[in-house]
Amino acid sequence: MPIYEFYCHKCNTIYNFLSRTIQSDKRPHCPHCKRIKLDKQISLFAYTGRAKEAPEGGTPEMPMDESKMERAMDALAREADGMSEEDPRQAANLMRKFSEMTGMKLGSGMQEALNRLEAGESPDAIEAELGDRLEQEDPFVMPDKDKKNSPKGLARPAPRRDSTLHEM
């Protein structure tokens, strides 16, 4: 019996629904708002609990399922074994796959560096030009930290997670 995650934009909450059958198209109503149909969420990693508080000015630790993260890292490591050190495009492709597998977005500096690698620029030239910038910013940004895509530049707080398992 699958468990589906759904998000309510109105109350900014993620709900879990147990389904007795595989129902990929069904969208339940929000248990809190009642009339709002929920949006299905794609779960890249299993949620294992609450994120730990971030140190002052730091990034919170994300509650990702370690076994799934290990499998993803193993798959990427196997792919890295077959890469040619002479082709930096392959390294850029590997970084993009990591971003997709983890759900983390690339920081603007990392995005620029990968674009330039894919365009065939020398890694040494990119390092010389972007090195300081890359050292000062996070290479990956969790989606809820991205304020550029929020209305009027304001970041919406991370969604609340309802711990109740609802029936679909």
pLDDT given for residue 30 in this prediction: 94
- Angle (deg, nearest 10), helices 108-118 and 88-102: 140
pLDDT given for residue 83 in this prediction: 79
pLDDT given for residue 142 in this prediction: 63
Spatial separation of the C-alpha atoms in residues 142 and 66, rounded to whole Å = 17
Whether the CB-CB separation of 129 and 104 falls below 8 Å is answered with: no
Q: Supply the DSSP symbol for 147.
A: -
Query: What does the pLDDT look like over 103-132, one tens digit per residue?
Result: 778 888 888 999 999 898 888 899 899 888
Who has greater pLDDT, 155 or 95? 95
Q: What percentage of the chain has pLDDT greater than the value 70?
A: 72
How much is the average pLDDT of 44-56? 49
Spell out a b/e string for 78-90, using b for 16 or more CB atoms within 10 Å of the CB, else e: eeeeeeeeeebeb
pLDDT given for residue 48 in this prediction: 46
Query: What does the pLDDT look like over 20-47, one tens digit per residue?
Result: 777 667 889 999 988 888 988 765 444 4
How much helix, strand and coil, in percent to the nearest 5, is found in the chain? 35, 20, 45
